[in-house]
Structure 1
Amino acid sequence: MSDFDLVVIGSGPGGYVAAIRASQLGLKVAIVERENLGGICLNWGCIPTKALLKSGEKFESLSHLKEYGLSASGASFDFDAIIQRSRGVAKQLTQGVGFLMKKNKIEVIEGTAKLEKGSAAPKVVVTLNKGGDRTLNAKSVMLAVGARARALPQIGLEADGDKIWAYRDALAPKKLPKTFVVIGSGAIGIEFASFYRALGAEVTVVEAVDRIMPVEDEEVSKTAQKGFEKRGIKFKTGAKVTKVTKTASGVSVAIEVGGKAETLEAEVCISAVGITANTDGIGLEALGVELDRGHIKTDSHCQTNVKGLYAIGDCAGAPWLAHKASHEGIHAAEYIAGFKSPQ
């Protein structure tokens, strides 16, 4: 006998939206979360980053007041207060997700999930944060476990929270460095480069391909780079990072550009070289779940090759976007509930 119609593992923009839709369609739903409701996006990604960017934008705009016939003197900022505001915004939204779970009668189980062989679908064994284990039986299980920052230990690019930062470190730092090297010019790298530059830091962005923001249209990349350079951000494109070395004063980043070696020095290096799906350690291998370069393979309805097991969002491959995860979650929930939505 099943405890639930659907168990969702992970409560990010894919997981919590899927759980709500499934509940709306009459399914008995539980959601398992090991950390904070809302996942990385609400707690350590899209939302708190935008809060930082807004603070940076407000401060930077003070230097352009003269253009509007205005003047002000003694402008300054409280870095700790900026960070605290960002964390507060994230906390508020997380509490909102908790309210939505209660409103939609979704049971929230706090702990770390692992899959084992089951009948209708894999069993979900949860190591509870408060201690002990709980085994959940469900007709369907949905993986919305997301992804984490990619590390490149072979070149020394591994976050330590001190001189080499990943996104979590950059969102809640203990200090405001004066110089940065940002490796990677995707959304994450550019957002942090923009924020720290707005507060006056010297920032150099290193990108492996020949233009920044390489997943965007070329025209967008060129226009964006001109705008960022106007604000004082420096770029090294077509640059291969060969070694990141911690020094007494910060970091030394060795790169090759056009076959020529260069060295960049800074207090802190921010690593924004992509993500790795959170597919390890949850029992996928024992179940025989098919993977593609670490991401879970799914069909057009987000089904895996294992009966009753679905996967959505970042763990199921590109594009790694919140609205893509939400769309997949809704579609999969409707499919599980027998509601055939238009393709």
Structure 2
Amino acid sequence: MAENYDVIIIGSGPGGYVTAVRAAQLGLKTAIVEREHLGGICLNWGCIPTKALLRSAEIKHYAENGKDYGLTIDGKISADVDAVVDRSRKVSQRLNGGVGFLMKKNKIDVIWGEAKLSKPGEVVVSEPSKKAMQPQPPMPKNTKGAGTYKAKHIIVATGARPRVLPGIEPDGEKIWTYFEAMVPKTMPKSLVVMGSGAIGMEFASFYRTMGADVTVVELMPQILPVEDAEVSKFAKRQFEKQGIQFKLEAKVAKVEKTKDGITAHVETKDGKVEKISAEKLISAVGVQGNIENLGLESLGVKTDRGCVVVDSYGRTNVEGIYAIGDVAGPPMLAHKAEHEGVICIEKIAGVPGVHALDTGLIPGCTYCHPQVASVGLTEAKAKDAGRDIRVGRYQFAANGKAIALGEDQGFVKTIFDKKTGELLGAHMIGAEVTELIQGFVVAMNLETTEEELMHTVFPHPTLSEMMKESVLDAYGRTLNA
């Protein structure tokens, strides 16, 4: 006989496990189905382990430039690839085990296997066909296996996987996705990165700092295509100073495998083809939702371009079936998935005052060197929307803390509605901006105006002072530049 739940969540990534925890807090009998690893891609193969790798690269960078801080470090600084990767994997395993603890603490059943919706309100779970990509920690006692399970509400949170271009399929050896790029057996001396979004630039930054020759190929006219044009232009200059080469408005039309690696045939917008040889190629051309083999089509659930179609509360067109996170469409970010899941389950539970997700207030962060962070409208998009705007900028080079840190390259840019003082967007590039952006996110959520930001006291000396100075600059009142 099928076991009954109030909610079954398919997928235990950030969206799935956070939704499960919130469901349990609301008193709902909850189960989560997972086929590979608790924590999903983010904890195991994405957000977290890449940051561990980038931290190793950052430490290497500072060690190599110790003289800039009055330090003498004898001997050559070299990277032990095995140790760097091992540290990254241990960070992931620690958090992976933490998700198991959260399931046990909140009395959430973990159903191990592959889920398929046989009909509304019913999930059939079979043994996993794909071997987990890393050993599992001891599972909670409340772990179940294959079988049939029922729930009034079923939430699909199956995430996404790397997008594959025809003819340039990853082979795990010479053509990598982010999976292979995170666990190199040896450090490549050269590589081509296909795509300059967050994933592409983070790996380009990591491998360049580790000593590889890196060429980035981007189809669009600017790197980091979703970012403000000024930020992208500045980032490109900084990366070029580090030795990264760029081919813009170009595409990898063909990849030949050679004895020593690959040869990428890079075609520019004018039809010319340049051949670039390297040991490896990293395909970072985006991700696509995991919607296959779930039974969605047979139940009539609408999908569009590889994602499940949902409303502002995660509801699909079929009653009792929901979708959140990457599988529900862009922006494909872990923090979006978490918030989306909380909104979805609170709506299901009848929590009063649940607000629909405003995707315009979701921050984006890229953890390269220099870091990039943004929220809201770019200057171009604000103008395209017909807004009469004020723009403020403040340079890292004028900030005391940035100079003391030896990180004086970067800027903060703010965009306001000229009539109302509404903060429309904020864009940053430089040291630790991924930690600073939340200040503007909070401000925008509270519908803060320029006047309130000007009257806010920022601590000195901090990088955060640049945020206020950028606001002041938009109104011709900057005090320290």
The CA deviation string for residues 200-241 of structure 1, in whole angstroms up to 9 with x for no partner, is 000001000010000111111111111111111111111122
1:242 Cα deviation from its structure 2 partner:
1.1
1:144 alignment partner AA: A
Q: Does 2:328 align with 1:322?
A: no
- Which residue in the other structure is 1:207 paired with? 218
- Which residue in the other structure is 1:149 paired with? 162
Equivalent runs, 1:161-172 vs 2, <5 Å: 161-172=172-183
Give the whole-Å Cα distance in 1 for the aligned partners of 2:298 and 2:200: 36
1:318 Cα deviation from its structure 2 partner:
0.4
- Which residue in the other structure is 1:114 paired with? 116
Give the whole-Å Cα distance in 2 for the aligned partners of 1:224 and 1:193: 12
Q: Is the 8 A contact 2:35 2:128 kept in 1?
A: yes
Gap regions ≥5 residues in structure 2:
130-143, 356-481
Gap regions ≥5 residues in structure 1:
none
- Which residue in the other structure is 2:153 paired with? 140
1:2 Cα deviation from its structure 2 partner:
6.4
Give the whole-Å Cα distance in 1 for the aligned partners of 2:19 and 2:119: 23
Equivalent runs, 1:1-343 vs 2, <5 Å: 3-74=4-75, 75-118=77-120, 121=121, 123-129=122-128, 133-153=146-166, 156-259=167-270, 260-343=272-355
Would the alpha carbon gap of residues 290 and 258 (structure 1) be closer, same or farther in structure 2, given more than 3 Å must change? Answer: closer
Q: Is the 8 A contact 1:2 1:139 kept in 2?
A: no
Q: Is the 8 A contact 1:52 1:82 kept in 2?
A: yes
TM-score, length basis structure 1 = 0.96
TM-score, length basis structure 2 = 0.69
2:146 alignment partner AA: D
Give the whole-Å Cα distance in 2 for the aligned partners of 1:243 and 1:84: 33
The CA deviation string for residues 156-178 of structure 1, in whole angstroms up to 9 with x for no partner, is 21111100000100011222110
1:132 Cα deviation from its structure 2 partner:
7.1
Q: Is the 8 A contact 2:9 2:31 kept in 1?
A: yes
Give the whole-Å Cα distance in 2 for the aligned partners of 1:340 and 1:215: 35
1:51 alignment partner AA: A
Partner-residue secondary structure (3-state), 1:284: coil
Partner-residue secondary structure (3-state), 2:54: helix
Give the whole-Å Cα distance in 2 for the aligned partners of 1:224 and 1:11: 34
- Which residue in the other structure is 2:388 paired with? none
Give the whole-Å Cα distance in 1 for the aligned partners of 2:292 and 2:353: 32
Tell me the percent identity.
58
Give the whole-Å Cα distance in 2 for the aligned partners of 1:218 and 1:102: 46
The CA deviation string for residues 234-289 of structure 1, in whole angstroms up to 9 with x for no partner, is 11111122111111111111112241211111000000011111001111111111
Q: Is the 8 A contact 2:81 2:184 kept in 1?
A: no
Give the whole-Å Cα distance in 1 for the aligned partners of 2:85 and 2:148: 39
Give the whole-Å Cα distance in 2 for the aligned partners of 1:301 and 1:79: 44
Q: Is the 8 A contact 1:331 1:341 kept in 2?
A: no
1:113 Cα deviation from its structure 2 partner:
0.6
Partner-residue secondary structure (3-state), 2:17: helix
Give the whole-Å Cα distance in 1 for the aligned partners of 2:94 and 2:3: 34
How many equivalent residue pairs? 338
1:60 Cα deviation from its structure 2 partner:
1.4
In terms of Rg, which structure is larger? 2
- The runs of at least 4 consecutive aligned structure 1 residues that moved more than 4 Å come to 129-132
Give the whole-Å Cα distance in 1 for the aligned partners of 2:168 and 2:326: 22
Give the whole-Å Cα distance in 2 for the aligned partners of 1:66 and 1:38: 41
1:16 Cα deviation from its structure 2 partner:
0.4
Q: Is the 8 A contact 2:343 2:354 kept in 1?
A: no
Q: Is the 8 A contact 2:112 2:145 kept in 1?
A: no
The CA deviation string for residues 63-89 of structure 1, in whole angstroms up to 9 with x for no partner, is 211111111122222110000000000
Higher relative contact order (CA 8 A, sep 6+): 1
